[in-house]
């Protein structure tokens, strides 16, 4: 029987998401009220992987605290290691991986419903040394180029090729059995045979998977394959894509990944409904999630594609539309929040309007009557 170990890379700073990542690491940012690290762990454990190692760095103590207080029903470890890059992270945790375990590497800051079990079986059936998850895209990241043959075996892997590399790649495709792809993106899930650990430990220059490891494996005639399938995948790497990810889950586009809570009506989720106070004259549209201990006052309207966190109060006649409200937020009366993000511990006074990709950072106060449009505040004084 094949044994497996999952390794989740959770060390990124999330600089492009600032100020959302001012006080918490990117993997702890919630999408429809559940941290992204939670989705990453679920993806592996639901595929039958019973040992998962999480490599942390930036605000790593907060990830470790969350992981250790949550019941996973599998062995989830957060060791104390200091890694410099993606492949180096796998190298640094090699001591925790048994010699009979094949390895699945994933990223903590993506949301996907890829069928990991199918990905694992595909890799075994191909007798691959390594497999890279891929997805067709109309917007490939900076025109990465991958050359595959008819069996999806990888012959060239160029993340950001220079002009001369593109020319050489085009020459290679004149062989009838290989094809150059510029519309495939690397979606950041990797399979490796256990022997990859020996290679990493013997070659200190192999720090990054895309830049170093995959080119090295190809140069040394290891069998790499591309796994190409249809699945949901989103890198919530900036505020706009973070909002998009929330909207997608509320639409069930990433099913079976769904928002936190019970689906009390179709496309409406409430966490611990008995702890919430929802006025009978308030309105909750479809494609909405509401966290526990939340109160909606009279004539509140929570419109389509809105995620409301826990311990939130929304005052009379206020309207929330296509927005993400984090935890411990108080919103006054006669307010409008549209297509924006309100972070933790924010107080919004009466008659405030916040529109069009605005962000209110943690621990902020928005005075009465303030009008905000397409503005990202980085500090708590508004």
Whether 176 has a pLDDT exceeding 90, the answer reads no
Q: Would the pTM of this model clear 0.85, i.e. be above it?
A: yes
Q: For the chain, which residues make up each domain, given as ranges?
A: 3-140+183-235, 267-373
Topology agreement, domain 3-140+183-235 and domain 267-373: no
* CATH 3.30.70.20 describes domain 3-140+183-235: no
Q: For residues 345 and 328, give the distance between their C-alpha atoms in angstroms, rounded to a whole number.
A: 5
| Digit-coded pLDDT (tens) for 161-171 | 554 444 445 54
Q: Distances from the Cα of 117 to the Cαs of 39, 49, 64, 123, 372, in angstroms? A: 16, 9, 26, 10, 46
Q: How confident is the model at residue 140 (pLDDT cuts 50, 70, 90)?
A: low
Q: For residues 188 and 194, give the distance between their C-alpha atoms in angstroms, rounded to a whole number.
A: 18
Whether 144 has a pLDDT exceeding 70, the answer reads no
Give me the mean pLDDT over the 186-200 stretch.
97
The phi, psi pair for 131, rounded to 5°, reads -130, 140
* CATH 2.160.10.10 describes domain 267-373: yes
Residues 6+ apart with CB under 8 A from 298: 279, 281, 282, 316, 317
Task: Output the pLDDT for position 161.
Answer: 52
Q: For residues 218 and 155, give the distance between their C-alpha atoms in angstroms, rounded to a whole number.
A: 7
Q: How confident is the model at residue 277 (pLDDT cuts 50, 70, 90)?
A: very high
Task: Residue 180: name the closest of 145, 229, 225, 143 by CA.
Answer: 145
Residue 342 contacts residue 363 (beta carbons within 8 Å): no
SS3 content of the chain, % helix, strand, coil (to 5): 25, 30, 45
Average pLDDT of every residue of the chain: 92
| Digit-coded pLDDT (tens) for 49-87 | 999 999 998 899 999 999 999 999 999 999 988 899 999
Q: For residues 201 and 190, give the distance between their C-alpha atoms in angstroms, rounded to a whole number.
A: 18
Q: How confident is the model at residue 143 (pLDDT cuts 50, 70, 90)?
A: very low
Mind giving me the DSSP string for 162-227? -HHHHHHHHHHTTSTTEEEESSEEEEEEEEE-TTHHHHHHH-TT---IIIIIHHHHHHTT--EEEE
Task: Output the pLDDT for position 1.
Answer: 79
Give me the mean pLDDT over the 281-306 stretch.
98
Task: Residue 37: name the closest of 61, 8, 17 by CA.
Answer: 8
């Amino acid at each position: 029987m094949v044994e497996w170990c999952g390794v989740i890379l959770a060390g990124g700073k999330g600089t492009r998401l600032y100020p959302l990542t001012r006080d918490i690491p990117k993997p702890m940012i919630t999408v429809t009220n559940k941290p992204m690290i939670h989705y990453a762990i679920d993806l592996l454990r639901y595929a039958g992987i019973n040992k998962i190692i999480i490599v942390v760095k930036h605000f790593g103590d907060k990830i470790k605290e969350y992981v250790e207080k949550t019941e996973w029903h599998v062995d989830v470890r957060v060791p104390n290691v200091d890694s410099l890059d993606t492949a180096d992270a796998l190298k640094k945790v090699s001591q925790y991986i048994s010699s009979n375990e094949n390895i699945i590497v994933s990223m903590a800051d993506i949301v996907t419903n890829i069928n990991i079990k199918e990905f694992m079986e595909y890799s075994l059936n191909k007798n691959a040394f390594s497999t890279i998850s891929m997805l067709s895209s109309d917007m490939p990241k900076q025109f990465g180029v991958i050359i595959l043959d008819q069996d999806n075996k990888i012959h060239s892997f160029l993340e950001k090729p220079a002009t001369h590399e593109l020319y050489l790649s085009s020459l290679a495709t004149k062989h009838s059995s290989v094809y150059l792809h510029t519309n495939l993106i690397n979606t950041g899930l990797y399979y490796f045979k256990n022997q990859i650990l020996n290679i990493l430990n013997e070659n200190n220059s192999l720090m990054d998977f895309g830049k170093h490891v995959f080119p090295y494996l190809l140069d040394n005639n290891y069998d790499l394959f591309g796994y190409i399938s249809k699945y949901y995948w989103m890198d919530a790497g900036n505020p706009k894509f973070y909002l998009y990810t929330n909207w997608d889950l509320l639409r069930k586009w990433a099913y079976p990944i769904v928002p936190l809570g019970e689906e009390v009506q179709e496309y409406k989720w409430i966490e611990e409904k008995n702890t919430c106070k929802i006025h009978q004259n308030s309105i909750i549209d479809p494609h909405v999630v509401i966290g526990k201990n939340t109160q909606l006052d009279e004539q509140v309207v929570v419109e389509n594609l809105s995620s409301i966190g826990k311990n939130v109060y929304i005052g009379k006649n206020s309207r929330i539309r296509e927005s993400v409200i984090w935890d411990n937020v108080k919103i006054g009366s006669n307010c409008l929040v549209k297509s924006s993000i309100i972070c933790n511990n924010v107080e919004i006074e009466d008659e405030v309007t916040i529109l069009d990709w605005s962000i209110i950072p943690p621990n902020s106060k928005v005075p009465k009557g303030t009008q905000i449009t397409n503005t990202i505040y980085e500090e708590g004084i508004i």
